[in-house]
Structure 1
Amino acid sequence: MEPEAAKSWSIHSRGEIIAKYEIQERVGSGAYSDVYKARRLSDNVVVALKEVHDYQSAFREIEALQILNSPNVIVLHEFFWREDEDAVLVLEYLRTDLASVINEAKKEGRSIGVAQLKRWMLQILCGLDACHRNMILHRDLKPTNLLVSDDGLLKLADFGQARILLEPGYVAAYNNLQPYEQNAVNQENAFQPPEDFPETDNLCQEAYEIQEQGTISKEEYFRQLDEFKAKNIDETDEETDVHDGDTSCLATCTTSDIEDDPFKNSYSYKAEGGGDDGQGCLTSCVGTRWFRAPELLFGSTDYGLEIDLWSLGCIFAELFTLEPIFPGTADIDQLSRIFSVLGNLTEEVWPGCSKLPDYKTISFNKVENPIGLEACLPNCSPDEISLVKKLVCYDPASRATAMELLHDKYFSEEPLPVPMSELWVPLTRSGQDENSPRGWSGHDGMGSDSDFEDFENYTRTDTGFSIRFP
C-alpha cells in the first residue's frame, strides 16, 4: 500500500510493524500524528496504529496511560519506538465518538433521552475518576476525545497532553485520593455505587481494581522522582496547543505488557522547567478553547485536576443542549462568553483570582446582568442545571470531583441509566465536516490565539485591553 503523505512513509517501511499488521487505510491525520486502521495478522483483530511525530506527546501517552487500568480508558496493545523513528502505538480501534452521538441527534432534530444521557455521563465520570485517582490530568477533554465502541462502551482517549501531577504540593491538595497505594479493600470502601443503578456499577468497580503487581507507595514514587531529577533531565512544556485534528477521534493509548518496555519501571515524569519555585512549570496553552477553564485563559501555570472538571461541565452542557456552551472564536471572545453567563471574575466569587498572571492585563467592563447558566440550559431539569453548576464555576476548589458526581442523586433517580446495550451508537462517524478539515464543529481548530483584532468591542489600555459588552 502506498503511503498517503511523505511524513507517514516510515510506518509503511518498518519491517517490525508490517510483519505483524496489515495497514489498510489512514483514518486520521494531524500535525503531530497519523492514525491508520490495520489488521493484526495473528488473529485478524482490527486495530488502530497511531504514528506520533512528537516525542513529548508520545512519551506522555505511553507513560501516563500505562498507570491506568479502567474499562473507560482506551487500550494500548503494544508500541514500537526506536531511536530516530516516530513512536507507533497499537491501539484498540473504536469507530465513533461522543461528538458523533451529539451531532447525529442534532441533525435528526431530537434530544438524547435522559436515561441514555445518564449512561453516557456515568461512563465519562468513571474514566475521569480513574485518571484523577492516579493524579493524571488529561488537559484536553472534549466530545471528540471520548471514543465509543459499537456496543456503547465509552473510553477516554488522546492523552498526548496529559500530565502526571507528581509534586508534593499537588499531591497534598488531593491527598484524599490516595492514588498509588490502594488495595482491593480500600478500593471497595472508596466507591460504593448507589444500589439503584444496576450497571455503573460494574464498570466503575472494575475500573478501581488496581493490579497489585507493580504498584508502589507514594513515598517510593517520590524517591524515584527525586533520583530522576538529580540526573538533570529537564523538559519544558512547549507553549503551543497540541491538536491532532481527526487523529484523536479514533484512537489513543493505555497499558501494555511488552517485552523490553522502556517505561516498564518508570513511575516518574520528566520535571518541566520554567517555574521560579523549581517545582516544574505547567503551561496554560493546553486543551481546546471551547472547553478551556478560565484559569488557563488567564495564563495560570499553577493549576490541577480542576481544569478537567470545567471541561467536563462543558461536555455535560453540550449533551443536554446539543450545542457548545461557550463557542469562543478566540481566547478573548471565549472569556467574554463566559463572563456574559457567569458575570465578572472577582475576588468575591474566586478568592485569589487577582493573582492570576493575566488578571491585571485583561480588563473587562462590568457585566451588569449575566444571563446565568439556566439561560444556557433551556428545557433542562433543576437537577441537570445543578450538575453543570457544580462544574462550570470560577473557583476551582468549588468544582465537584468525578467521585462526588458519581454519587449525585441525579443518577439514582428515575429515569435510571439505560444498560449500555440500549445506547444509540451512530453507524458512522459523522463528526467530520467536509468543509472543516480540522474536525467536528471546529473544536479541533480552536487554538490558543488571542486574536483581539477579530473581536470588535474592545479598546486597548496601557496594560492590555478592555472589552465592552453589547
Structure 2
Amino acid sequence: MDPPPPKSWSIHTRPEIIQKYEILERVGSGAYSDVYRARRLSDNLIVALKEVHDYQSAFREIEALQILHNSPNVVVLHEYFWREDEDAVLVMEFLKTDLASVIKEAKKREGGGGGGGIGVGELKRWILQILSGVDVCHRNMIVHRDLKPSNLLVSDEGVLKLADFGQARILLESGYVASGENPQPYEEDPGEPLSQADAFRPSDITPDTDTSSQGGFRGQEHVTMSKEEYFKVLDELKSKNLDKDTNVQDGDTSCLATCTTSDREDDPFKSSCSFEAEEAGDNREGSLTSCVGTRWYRAPELLYGSTSYGLEIDLWSLGCILAELCTLQPLFPGTSDIDQLSRIMSVLGNLNEETWPGCVKLPDYRTISFNKVENPIGLEACLLNRTAEEISLVKKLVCYDPSRRATAMELFNEKYFKEEPLPVPLSELHVPSSKNGQDEDSPGGWYDYDEMDSDSDFEDFGPMNVTTTSTGFSIEFP
C-alpha cells in the first residue's frame, strides 16, 4: 500500500482539487477557515471552496449539510474533499452577499431618503425565508447555535440561505438520529466517483416531521411530533446522553460565514470572539457547551452557562434577527456577557422564577446577580413605529422561558403573513450587488478570532460587589 502523500502547504497544490476547480481568489479568512472563489472546470459554475482547519467544525458542517441536502433555504454543499492528513475543503454554492449587508444598505437608504429602509412586504418575505431555513433544521433536530445576519447568505435572485454550520449539533439520541461516527461522502451527481479516497461510514437515518422535499437526506424516517412531545424527547435526551458534570468545550471552529461576512459599523467581532476554545475539543456524546454563538444573538440560558439547552436557543437568536430587520439596529448590542445580560434585563426585567420557572438551576444564576430592574422598558420601546403584529412576533421569541418561545412552524401560521401588504416576490427584494466592500470600518473584511478580546473580561464595568459564598463567590453589578 502506498504511503499517503505529504500534507500540502496550500489548497492551490492539492491535485484532487485543482484537477476539478480553478481557484480564482481568496474572499475571506478567519482563524479556523479560509474561503476561496473558484470555477468548476466541468461547467464553469462559480463555487466557494471553504478550507476548514478544524476537524470538529468540518465534521459538524458536513454532517448537518448532508442531512439538509435539497433544502431551498440552506446553503448547498456540492461535494467535499477530506483526507486524514489534510484539512477538509467543502465545495459550496457561492453567494455574494448576506442579510447583514441587506440591513446595512436599507439603513443607508433610510438615512439618505432613498425609499426608507425595508418595506413591510419585503420584510415579510425575508422573515418567511429565515423561518423556512430554521424550520427545516429544527425538524431534523439540528440546532445551528450561531444564527445571525451575516450567517444568512443571499443569492443574486434574493433567495436567503442559512450557512456556517460549524457549531451545529444534532440533538437526538443514537438510534433516533444519524449515529455514524463520520459524515457520508457524496457529490451532487451520485453517478460520479467520490471525491476522497477514504470513504466515511454512512449516517443515513435522519428524523423529519414533514414529507415535503424541503427536509432531510436519503434514508429518512419521518417522525411527527407536537411541541410538547418535542420537549419530552429532548428532556429524555438530556437525561440519557448529556454528562452534566462536565462541560466539554467546542473548539473555536466557526468562520464568519460560508462565503461572505459583513463590514458592519458595530460588528460584535471587533471586540469579542464568538466563543471560547479549549484544546480538548468537543465530545459528540458528551455535554453541550454554553460558549457558542455570537454574543448579540446569544440566548440568556447560554449567558448563564447552561449546557442542557435545546433548539430554543436558535429561536431567541431568530427573535433578535427579526427585531433587527424591523429597526435596522441590533436589539441587544452587548460589549461583554455581563453587559449583554444587563441590556436584556433593562428590556425584559429581571430573570426570576416568575419569568422562567426553574431558572435558579442555571449554573451561573447564583454567581452573577443584578439589582432589581424596577421599570423595564419592554420590547415595544425597542420597536418604535412597528405594528402590533410585528412586536408580537418578536415577543413570541425574545422571552426568558425557552418553552414559551414559538417554533418557526408556529410563526409560519401567523395571520401577519396573510394580511396586506402581502410578502413580495423574490424579484422585488432589494439585494446588494455584492457584500458591502472593505472600507475604513473593515480593512480586512474578515476578523481573526485570535486577536479578539475575551467575552469574560469584566474590567470595563466599573464597580462590582464580590461576595464569598459557600460554593465560591457571587458578583453583583449595581
Interval of TM-score (by shorter of Structure 1 and Structure 2):
0.7 to 0.9
Counterpart position of 2:88: 87
- The answer (yes or no) to whether the contact 1:97–1:144 under 8 Å persists in 2 is yes
- The answer (yes or no) to whether the contact 1:170–1:304 under 8 Å persists in 2 is no
> Secondary structure, in 3 states, of the residue corresponding to 1:464?
strand
Q: Deviations over 1:381-432 (max 9, x none)?
A: 0000000000000000000000000111111111100011111100121175
- The answer (yes or no) to whether the contact 1:121–1:316 under 8 Å persists in 2 is yes
Cα distance change on mapping 1:393 and 1:248 into 2, 3 Å: farther
> Secondary structure, in 3 states, of the residue corresponding to 1:28?
strand
- The answer (yes or no) to whether the contact 2:288–2:308 under 8 Å persists in 1 is yes
Cα distance change on mapping 1:416 and 1:441 into 2, 3 Å: farther
Q: Deviations over 1:223-254 (max 9, x none)?
A: xxx9xx99xxxx98435554424656369xxx
Counterpart position of 1:339: 345
Cα distance change on mapping 1:418 and 1:446 into 2, 3 Å: farther
Give the deviation of 1:273 after TM superposition.
Answer: 4.8
Counterpart position of 1:238: 249
Cα distance change on mapping 1:59 and 1:180 into 2, 3 Å: closer
Q: Deviations over 1:40-60 (max 9, x none)?
A: 011100000000000000000
Give the deviation of 1:438 after TM superposition.
Answer: 7.7
Within-5 A mapping of 1:220-299: 237-239=248-250, 241-245=252-256, 249=260, 273=283, 280-299=286-305
AA matched with 1:465: I
* Cα distance in structure 2, aligned partners of 1:387 and 1:444: 37
Counterpart position of 2:476: 466
* Cα distance in structure 2, aligned partners of 1:409 and 1:443: 42
Counterpart position of 1:453: 459
- The answer (yes or no) to whether the contact 1:289–1:446 under 8 Å persists in 2 is no
* Cα distance in structure 1, aligned partners of 2:255 and 2:206: 30
Cα distance change on mapping 1:248 and 1:43 into 2, 3 Å: closer
> Secondary structure, in 3 states, of the residue corresponding to 2:10?
helix
Counterpart position of 1:56: 56
Cα distance change on mapping 1:368 and 1:61 into 2, 3 Å: same
- The answer (yes or no) to whether the contact 1:152–1:421 under 8 Å persists in 2 is yes
Cα distance change on mapping 1:248 and 1:44 into 2, 3 Å: closer
Counterpart position of 2:202: none
**Aligned Cα RMSD in Å?**
3.2
Q: Deviations over 1:251-270 (max 9, x none)?
A: 9xxxxxxxxxxxxxxxxxxx
Kindly, what percent of the aligned residue pairs are identical? 70
Unaligned runs of 5+ in 2: 1-6, 178-204, 224-232, 263-280
- The answer (yes or no) to whether the contact 1:151–1:421 under 8 Å persists in 2 is yes
Counterpart position of 2:214: 207
Cα distance change on mapping 1:433 and 1:9 into 2, 3 Å: farther
* Cα distance in structure 2, aligned partners of 1:444 and 1:434: 21
Give the deviation of 1:464 after TM superposition.
Answer: 2.5
Counterpart position of 1:43: 43
Counterpart position of 1:325: 331
Cα distance change on mapping 1:206 and 1:418 into 2, 3 Å: farther
Give the deviation of 1:170 after TM superposition.
Answer: 10
Give the deviation of 1:10 after TM superposition.
Answer: 2.3
Report the more deviating stretch, 422-431 or 237-246. Answer: 237-246
* Cα distance in structure 2, aligned partners of 1:217 and 1:207: 13
Report the more deviating stretch, 440-449 or 309-318. Answer: 440-449
> Secondary structure, in 3 states, of the residue corresponding to 1:31?
coil
AA matched with 2:73: N
Within-5 A mapping of 1:17-28: 17-28=17-28
> Secondary structure, in 3 states, of the residue corresponding to 1:155?
strand
Verify: 1:364 aligned to 2:370, yes or no.
yes
* Cα distance in structure 2, aligned partners of 1:442 and 1:88: 19
> Secondary structure, in 3 states, of the residue corresponding to 2:90?
strand
Counterpart position of 2:410: 404
Cα distance change on mapping 1:55 and 1:395 into 2, 3 Å: same
Counterpart position of 1:14: 14
Cα distance change on mapping 1:371 and 1:134 into 2, 3 Å: same
Give the deviation of 1:459 after TM superposition.
Answer: 2.7
Provide the TM-score with structure 1 as the length reference: 0.78
* Cα distance in structure 2, aligned partners of 1:49 and 1:155: 17
Verify: 1:308 aligned to 2:314, yes or no.
yes
Provide the TM-score with structure 2 as the length reference: 0.77
Give the deviation of 1:458 after TM superposition.
Answer: 2.8
- The answer (yes or no) to whether the contact 1:292–1:307 under 8 Å persists in 2 is yes
* Cα distance in structure 1, aligned partners of 2:128 and 2:450: 24
Give the deviation of 1:444 after TM superposition.
Answer: 12
* Cα distance in structure 2, aligned partners of 1:79 and 1:34: 14
* Cα distance in structure 2, aligned partners of 1:83 and 1:122: 40
The structure with more helix, counted as a fraction of residues: 1
Give the deviation of 1:148 after TM superposition.
Answer: 0.2
Counterpart position of 2:420: 414
Counterpart position of 1:131: 137
Q: Deviations over 1:336-371 (max 9, x none)?
A: 000100000000010000000000000111010111
Query: How many correspondences in the alignment?
Result: 399
Give the deviation of 1:440 after TM superposition.
Answer: 8.7
Give the deviation of 1:443 after TM superposition.
Answer: 12
Give the deviation of 1:281 after TM superposition.
Answer: 0.3
* Cα distance in structure 2, aligned partners of 1:441 and 1:15: 29
* Cα distance in structure 2, aligned partners of 1:414 and 1:54: 47
AA matched with 1:47: V
AA matched with 1:296: L
Give the deviation of 1:446 after TM superposition.
Answer: 8.4
* Cα distance in structure 1, aligned partners of 2:346 and 2:415: 29
- The answer (yes or no) to whether the contact 1:246–1:438 under 8 Å persists in 2 is no
Q: Deviations over 1:440-469 (max 9, x none)?
A: 99999987612211112533222221112x
* Cα distance in structure 1, aligned partners of 2:176 and 2:445: 34
Verify: 1:435 aligned to 2:441, yes or no.
yes
Unaligned runs of 5+ in 1: 1-6, 172-178, 189-204, 252-270
Verify: 1:151 aligned to 2:161, yes or no.
no
